[in-house]
Homo-oligomer: A and B are copies of this chain.
């Protein structure tokens, strides 16, 4: 079979590029369990983010039939073009691409989505203890005042890198030091391995800007694996590649926005992609798996769940998941993150010799980037609102959040930053089918006790999603890798 049986069933949610562009922003949700004749396919894919769409692409290319069931009214998952209110968008979710992220690169290239370098000319802003300073070096190191604090941070990063080099990305629980590393928080480790407040602040900022959690929430082993994962088969992961702009994970952006990749991929899959179809139940019956979504039921030989582990808890599995997988889903929480963007007539900070990148120890926003379009025809500043900051701002209104974010921008980039022509923000914690962002993290004890359950199939049900990737877990590249991996895993079984 090369296409979905009874294709017309899908007609209501055709995912051509044109149709996607014209989809209303909110559709009336169908009641759970609406009766629907079952579709029959080889593989039912739950989740229309990059992972699920990539798996679908590979399976279709191999002549198999698929349906992708996506809960939202758009494809892309955590990849999203945030509407600015004037017909344009800015990256509201996953945004960057860098060296060794060759699977997302290949996918984008195949879809005709070009990349361009993140604006990175000039100095970065560092705001700490009420003082604003500028620094030139990429990454964390340049931000520390030039004293022994630099040595302190450098030693800590070297120790982290050395430990990460002992980890096989994707199976960190097999490392010799895993038990020790997974018995402590990153906070515990960083306090034991640094003396200066500058180094400690920047290690905290490393966790906050990378994972959008506090250093106390995450296992040292998880962080080491995240570092080890910042590479590919030929290039071991390292801290610099993870955190840097030039030469690192933030090096480039996509022309038209990162959402062009999933949007075009979904369009290519056509009516195989079913939007506004949240999956409620995955039931294995004999040699078939029956996936029940609002408005549609799919009977398949195999199913792929391409979602972050925490969100899989919303689905009823029959028979129930193995306890280790179910309990893993209780132990893989999402970070707390929002992206705030402000639009200006010009990228005025460039004229002042600034990259638009900043790190701050106070205020709503703890890290910023220049999100302007490739031609710099207007200026867009983007700031991350993460962890405690985001949670405390949620007590107020959207206007309060906007005001707090503009106060941050003003503190970092001057009065002009306080007068944008428009602003927008995307709060990932409020998306029920993301549950937060940018990725699932694990507290101590989880990877060593539950890690092997992450990718182990549950009968006819297989797992994907960036959290299941070996390299670049948490990134778009990891999502694509996981989709390719699960498709390869399935093909011999169909």
For A388, the chain B residues whose CB sits under 8 A away are 449
**Min distance, Cβ A396 to any Cβ of chain B, angstroms:** 13
Q: How far is the CA of A214 from the CA of B445 in the complex (A)?
A: 7
A217 and B446 contacting across the interface, CB-CB below 8 Å: yes
Within 8 A of B (CB), among A372-410: 387-388, 391, 394
For A443, the chain B residues whose CB sits under 8 A away are 217, 331, 443-446
A217 and B445 contacting across the interface, CB-CB below 8 Å: yes
The stretch of A19-27, A417-425, A429-437 in contact with B is A429-437
Partner of A327, one of B32, B314, B336: B336
**Min distance, Cβ A472 to any Cβ of chain B, angstroms:** 23
A184 and B187 contacting across the interface, CB-CB below 8 Å: yes
Task: Tell yes or no: A416 within 8 A of B by CB.
Answer: no
For A427, the chain B residues whose CB sits under 8 A away are 323
| Interface size classification for chain A | 35 or more
Task: Given A32-B280, A185-B184, check contact A336 B314 (CB 8 Å).
Answer: no
Instruction: Type the 1/0 row for A7-51, where 1 means its CB is closer than 8 Å to any CB of B.
Output: 000000000000000000000000111100000000000000000
Task: Tell yes or no: A155 within 8 A of B by CB.
Answer: no
Q: Which of A33, A310, A323, A448 has its CB near the most chain B CB atoms (within 10 A)?
A: A323
Instruction: Type the 1/0 row for A131-152, where 1 means its CB is closer than 8 Å to any CB of B.
Output: 0000000000000000000000
Task: Given A314-B316, A323-B427, check contact A444 B445 (CB 8 Å).
Answer: no
Find the B residue at minimum CB distance from A448.
B216
Task: Tell yes or no: A109 within 8 A of B by CB.
Answer: no
**Min distance, Cβ A400 to any Cβ of chain B, angstroms:** 15
Task: Tell yes or no: A244 within 8 A of B by CB.
Answer: no
Find the B residue at minimum CB distance from A294.
B33
**Min distance, Cβ A143 to any Cβ of chain B, angstroms:** 23
**Min distance, Cβ A34 to any Cβ of chain B, angstroms:** 8
A323 and B183 contacting across the interface, CB-CB below 8 Å: no
Find the B residue at minimum CB distance from A336.
B327
**Min distance, Cβ A437 to any Cβ of chain B, angstroms:** 11
Task: Given A217-B445, A331-B333, check contact A391 B324 (CB 8 Å).
Answer: yes
Instruction: Type the 1/0 row for A36-75, where 1 means its CB is closer than 8 Å to any CB of B.
Output: 0000000000000000000000000000000000000000
Task: Tell yes or no: A345 within 8 A of B by CB.
Answer: no
Show 20 residue pairs from A and B whose CB-CB distance is below 8 angstroms, ordered by the A residue: A32-B32, A183-B188, A184-B187, A184-B188, A184-B216, A185-B185, A185-B445, A216-B445, A216-B448, A217-B449, A313-B330, A323-B429, A323-B436, A324-B394, A330-B330, A330-B332, A330-B333, A330-B334, A330-B436, A444-B444
A interface residues (Cβ-Cβ under 8 A, vs B): 31-34, 182-185, 187-188, 213-218, 280-281, 292, 310, 313-314, 316, 320, 322-324, 326-327, 330-334, 336, 387-388, 391, 394, 427, 429-430, 432, 435-436, 443-446, 448-450
